[in-house]
Structure 1
Amino acid sequence: MYKLIVTDMDGTFLNGLGEITRKNIKAVKKAMKRGVQFAIVTGRPYVSVKDILNDVKITCSCIGCNGAQVTGSDGKLITSHYLDTDNLIKIIRIAKEAGLYYQLYDDHYIYTSSRLNLLKLLKSYSKKSIKRHITLRRLYRGIKRLFFTEVSLKHDLLGFVSERRNKFYKIQIASVSAEDLDVVCKKIRDVPDIDITSSNYFNIEVGPKGVTKGTALEELAKSMNIKREEIIAFGDNFNDIPMLQYAGCGVAVKNAEPPVKKEADYITKSNEDNGVAYAIEKFIFNDEG
């Protein structure tokens, strides 16, 4: 019997409009009433998750920033893994030299150095969506993933980081040019003690080495005295693979990237078609319908 359900947010638990569907809410609450634990595992910081959960009256633990931030159901920080400041400075310089948009994540805000660059990026997304025949819904979903909460403007972001007053969980770098991202990614790989992942076709996310959704899920499960075979995990993108591999049952939604589906034990319906709810009914309540 599964004792813990964990799910990614964007593209998995949320639909394309960034909302939790009624069926997903109902299925999760039904499982929780039966005594099954529930947790969110996301690239978002906790600050951008709590209001969404509060709106649907779900109280649970949250693994944020791709595993770097673990918060209990009471909203208190359990564990945190930060990027080394010197390494973060190196990454910022690489992104700046390439002229790519980037933003940093700490416990309270998402920081950027230029709203103008943000607007340019959004304009590029619009043009790219037309050229690549990307649907407006997919474009919106991508933008929602990038800008989870209100962005705090720091004109001298590099100087702000250099002051070492704040610690940061991750840096996200974005571009509609796969070639530009690839060049930057290759340079960043030379920076020590970091890991690189992605949550969309136009971004890379850099966090502390050895920290993934999978490692954080292991930490959380141990704190709950839950074995890995008692966990069912849901995801759709590359940064979800480690937790799908760790869980006893890794479930990919139908809209997941092909490599994610390859690692999954089961493929459920899409996020638009209440895939999380469908699989919960199937695996928790043994309801095929």
Structure 2
Amino acid sequence: MAKSDIRVLALDLDGTLTNDEKQITPRTRAALDAALAKGVTVVLASGRPTAGVTPVAQDLALGQPGRAGAILSYNGGAIVDCGPGHRVLWHQDLPAAMVPALCDFAAQQNVAIVTYNSQGIVTERPEDPWAQREGFTNKLPMIKVDNLAAYVNYPVNKMLITLDPVRLPHVLKAGLERFAGQIDLYSSSPFFIEAVPLGVAKDRSLAALLDRMGLTRDNLMACGDGMNDRSMIRYAGVGVAMANAEGPVKAEADYVTTADNNHDGVAEAVERFIL
């Protein structure tokens, strides 16, 4: 593929764009600045809520003149333009009945469950150490409510079960059996189970975005490290896995970086395929 063919760069955040301290390193920032200057649209594609991705977009000045960008949040549940007005370009919400059903399931399993509002992360168990990891990653406050199912009277793109990694396989299996054919459940880390609408994935929302832009998958490069990145890496014209990616993710990639997320793996890919 000619380098000039890549018009959109989709980047997972945690374990990909940011290092383990959740920072963008200078070399990676310089590579993204150069790609933006060439007219490439940067899409921050994350499982985080929109509010948890927004500070990264602001740090990169996405949406400023000459710096086209978008936020793909909730693993593809929503895409928001970073430009003026922050237009919602795509969204898919959980069926309303799933909110109390998921809360009931979490209570039966004695695990924490969270969702989001415009201020932060909403949960009945803000002291849960695994839930607090979501707060740390997103740099959002934990908001305690007495009854999460009753509190959520607005559309949500996803809910997140947080739990001890030792319990995850059992709880995920039970959830898959209970909610089969209703929603999608999958593990996005050793201590998180994502609950999203059926069919929500990064590739599907990226396809919708490319269609709006009059582009195709051949114009897309996607970089990631986690299992929830496989669909966009498989879909992209150039799919890139970080050196620190899980084995099945690397198997989907056209290119695996020699450097991990702590050593400018994204910069390596951008320099090779775009600059």
For normalisation by structure 2, the TM-score amounts to 0.88
Does 2:157 match 1:166? no
Letter in 2 for 1:50: T
SS in 1 for 2:223: strand
Q: Contact 1:198–1:237 at 8 Å: present in 2 too?
A: no
In structure 1, stretches of 5+ residues that fail to align are 123-139
Equivalent residue, structure 1, for 2:66: none
Q: Contact 2:119–2:141 at 8 Å: present in 1 too?
A: no
Provide the rounded CA distance (Å) in 1 between the counterparts of 2:8 and 2:131.
38
Q: Contact 1:29–1:58 at 8 Å: present in 2 too?
A: no
Provide, for residues 94-131 of structure 1, a one-character-per-residue CA deviation record: whole Å limited to 9, x for no partner: 11111112111355532111223x24876xxxxxxxxx
SS in 2 for 1:199: strand
Q: Contact 2:77–2:157 at 8 Å: present in 1 too?
A: yes
In structure 2, stretches of 5+ residues that fail to align are 64-68
Q: Could you say what the CA RMSD is over the residues aligned between the two structures, in angstroms?
A: 1.9
Equivalent residue, structure 2, for 1:235: 224
Q: CA deviation at 1:183?
A: 2.3
Matches within 5 A, 1:201-216: 201-216=190-205
SS in 2 for 1:14: coil
SS in 2 for 1:25: helix
Letter in 2 for 1:159: A
SS in 2 for 1:115: coil
Matches within 5 A, 1:226-265: 226-265=215-254
Matches within 5 A, 1:139-158: 144-145=136-137, 148-158=139-149
Q: CA deviation at 1:282?
A: 0.5
Greater mean alpha carbon deviation, residues 7-16 or residues 43-52: 43-52
Distance 1:121 1:103, change over 3 A: closer
Does 2:262 match 1:272? yes
Equivalent residue, structure 2, for 1:181: 168
Does 2:81 match 1:72? yes
For normalisation by structure 1, the TM-score amounts to 0.84
Provide the rounded CA distance (Å) in 1 between the counterparts of 2:256 and 2:204.
23
SS in 2 for 1:173: strand
Q: Contact 1:232–1:249 at 8 Å: present in 2 too?
A: yes
Letter in 2 for 1:172: L
Distance 1:88 1:67, change over 3 A: same
SS in 2 for 1:187: helix
SS in 2 for 1:5: strand
Provide the rounded CA distance (Å) in 2 between the counterparts of 1:244 and 1:228.
11
How many residues in Structure 1 have an aligned counterpart in Structure 2?
A: 261
